Amino acid sequence: MSYQVLARKWRPRSFREMVGQTHVLKALINALDSQRLHHAYLFTGTRGVGKTTIARILAKCLNCETGVSSTPCGQCSVCREIDEGRFVDLIEVDAASRTKVEDTRELLENVQYAPTRGRYKVYLIDEVHMLSTHSFNALLKTLEEPPPHVKFLLATTDPQKLPVTILSRCLQFSLKNMPPERVVEHLTHVLTAENVPFEPDALWLLGRAADGSMRDAMSLTDQAIAFGEGKVLAADVRSMLGTLDHGQVYGVLHALIEGDARALMDAVRHLAEQGPDWNGVLAEMLNVLHRVAIAQVLPDAVDNGQGDRERVLELAGALPAEDVQFYYQMGLIGRRDLPLAPDPRSGFEMVLLRMLAFRPADAEGGPRPPLKPTGISPATADPDTASVAGAAPVAAAPAPVAAPPARPEPVAAPAPAPAPQAAAASVVVEPAPVATEPPAAPVAKEPIDLPWEDAPASVVSEPTPAPVAEQGAAAPDISTEVDDGRDDDEPPPPADDYYDSLASYDYADADETTAPAEDQLPAAQPATGLAAEWLDIYPRLGLAGLTASIAANCSLVAAGDTWRLHLEPTQSALFNAAQLRRMNEALNHYLGRSVQLEVEIVRPEQETPAQAAARGRAERQRQAEQSIHDDPLVREMIQQFGAMIRPDSIEPLNT
């Protein structure tokens, strides 16, 4: 007896045996049981999802000798002949091989005659989108009003190619792709019934390779059984498909996360032994990182479509969220640049080395501390500050550390009382000795200010000593701070136009390209008194970057030994203790003495430097537009030629 392939042997013969497509089966079963039958049905979907199978079962339901129902007997002669493909009243047509209008006319010549044996004459037209335009036109009238004994069942993988006149005459059912979980479940049932030994990992490989097609999954299973000499093993299936070992991708990611360059190169060497598609390896890494990002936001949403849900959740709990986004973006750029590399492997290695090199360095100079215990990392802590939640503020004091931590861990000590409008948390900055010419020590880098770091409602700093020449104290040890890539006196990057303009602001003539934020409204009152004095002091502080942005959105309300600023609440997300310390140091340097700086997150009642800049730009823009409208030549062109002035094209000139 000849061998029958699994895809044909296990083809469903009733609706109960169907795998998936519940939304289609429910409509058909209800229609059959209630005798509400349409004359034309259209089944759409990718290959191997059950279009032809459902059409044959429907034909069996319509012609079963026991009557029209959703449960054909499967034993009568009609059911057996339909299963064997020899029922005379089931006319199956391959539209791909009969595209001409003559073929369609020949087919429709017999529509008027009654069925030979069955209750209905069923026309099953597969790949109907391959018919020509003339064939569709010839089919239209018959498809709209066929004889009572005729049913049309159409199937296609590309419904977009069907004319709307055909679509409007049919009941359309869109079949879904089979998810890997459903494919693995069905393959488990089939192989168990066939007494074929298998490994679950092998079935997951077959389920993913099937790409939503149950027929492809069954065909690949047949091939895997032959390849594995009667067994379906993961190693054999992986070798047969030429796919990458998923565990090796995790090996690369773990070496990357730990910052172990040697382990990273060893993982690449093991990958190279399989001769993989390096672009595919990068794509697989991006797929894992995408699922890790989902797991960090919503763990329950992580599917087990690749059989590695637990490993994804483990990575999500160990890898900081910002690192996941960094690796994903770097991988996307690497895939784009991979064709430009001298060879694919070197391009892949450079992507990994770039991921390793551009990570912020820790206190030991390595790429990254060990994996963090949580998925969402806390904001970077300032080495000179400590944030303690509670009703009463506390001050920072040095404490011994047993081992280099992932983030500096300061210890709390008593501190002055908070400002009147302080919230539940305060941060106190301890003074640190400053040496104008420290001994040969590495230049300390400023910490990176994370915009999402929570800023307290009121932040108070202790008086910082004014700069004293030739102090003998050594520079404070701040090697645990994160390197931001530039020195303190280095100007900010040219891309940050807004912050660059604030750092070197000229109130007589501001840079026209630095438009204020949309929520930065003019102050209720013009600056007077201390607020006006702050407008004059701010550009002389020499601030840059985010610190300059914070100071530009403040208004001075008190001066003396304690200076108090009101900060615009919309800018509070950028504010933290490190910003306060830099502002205090710059103010001490400008005044030549030590003062205490307090910043309260309260909407300023008078104009801030940023608002003054916005008002100046708006006034210059108004004057420029007015000068254009008043120009005699422009007026003459408008009157004689009907010229129009585009307001968005007018820009004031810097004087």
CB 329 within 8 A of CB 337: no
**pLDDT at residue 154 in the model:** 93
The reply to whether 193 and 335 lie within a common domain is no
- Please check whether residue 187 lies inside any domain of the structure: yes
Closest listed residue to residue 203, CA positions, set 176, 183, 225:
183
Calculate the alpha carbon distances from 12 to 54, 182, 220, 224, 605 in Å: 9, 15, 18, 22, 76
CB 7 within 8 A of CB 52: no
- Please check whether residue 416 lies inside any domain of the structure: no
Whole-number Å distance between alpha carbons of 218 and 187: 8
Instruction: Calculate mean pLDDT across residues 415-421.
Output: 40
The reply to whether 637 and 495 lie within a common domain is yes
If you write DSSP's letter for every residue of 63-127 in order, what string do you get?
A: H-TT-SSSS--S-SHHHHHHHHT--TTEEEEETTT--SHHHHHHHHTTTTSPPSSSSSEEEEEET
- Please check whether residue 463 lies inside any domain of the structure: yes
Please tell me whether residue 301 adopts helix, strand or coil conformation.
helix
Asked if the model's pLDDT at residue 515 lies above 60, the reply is no
- Please check whether residue 387 lies inside any domain of the structure: no
The reply to whether 541 and 654 lie within a common domain is yes
By CB neighbour count within 10 A (0-12 exposed, 13-18 middle, 19+ buried), where does 15 fall?
buried
- Please check whether residue 113 lies inside any domain of the structure: yes
Strands 394-397 and 411-414 turn out to be antiparallel
**pLDDT at residue 31 in the model:** 92
The reply to whether 610 and 508 lie within a common domain is yes
**pLDDT at residue 62 in the model:** 92
The DSSP call for residue 144 is H
The reply to whether 23 and 55 lie within a common domain is yes
The reply to whether 466 and 615 lie within a common domain is yes
Task: Give bridge partners of residue 92 from the DSSP assignment.
Answer: 124
Task: Give bridge partners of residue 596 from the DSSP assignment.
Answer: 562
Closest listed residue to residue 79, CA positions, set 43, 48, 117, 29:
117
- Please check whether residue 194 lies inside any domain of the structure: yes
CATH number at residue 63: 3.40.50.300
CATH number at residue 485: 3.30.300.150
Distance of CA 408 to the CA centre of its chain: 31
| Boundary residue ending a domain (317, 338, 357) | 357
| Boundary residue ending a domain (174, 194, 225) | 174
Asked if the model's pLDDT at residue 247 lies above 90, the reply is no
**pLDDT at residue 524 in the model:** 55
Closest listed residue to residue 54, CA positions, set 90, 81, 28:
28
Asked if the model's pLDDT at residue 426 lies above 60, the reply is no
Instruction: Calculate mean pLDDT across residues 10-19.
Output: 90
Instruction: Calculate mean pLDDT across residues 257-271.
Output: 86
Whole-number Å distance between alpha carbons of 103 and 139: 11
The reply to whether 269 and 136 lie within a common domain is no
Per the structure, the complete domain to which residue 329 belongs is given by 246-357
Most confident of 1-10, 321-330, 440-449: 321-330
Task: Give bridge partners of residue 525 from the DSSP assignment.
Answer: 606
What are the CB-based long-range contacts (under 8 Å, 24+) for 359-367? 359/259, 359/323, 359/326, 360/448, 360/482, 360/483, 361/482, 361/483, 362/404, 362/406, 362/480, 363/404, 363/479, 363/480, 364/404, 366/259, 367/259
Asked if the model's pLDDT at residue 14 lies above 80, the reply is yes
- Please check whether residue 192 lies inside any domain of the structure: yes
The count of structural domains within the chain is 4
- Please check whether residue 286 lies inside any domain of the structure: yes
CATH number at residue 224: 1.10.8.60
The reply to whether 432 and 490 lie within a common domain is yes
Closest listed residue to residue 562, CA positions, set 420, 393, 412, 390:
420
| Boundary residue ending a domain (241, 256, 277) | 241
The reply to whether 509 and 641 lie within a common domain is yes
Report pLDDT digits (tens) over 357-380: 887 554 344 444 444 443 333 333
The reply to whether 570 and 453 lie within a common domain is yes
The reply to whether 347 and 433 lie within a common domain is no
The reply to whether 19 and 148 lie within a common domain is yes
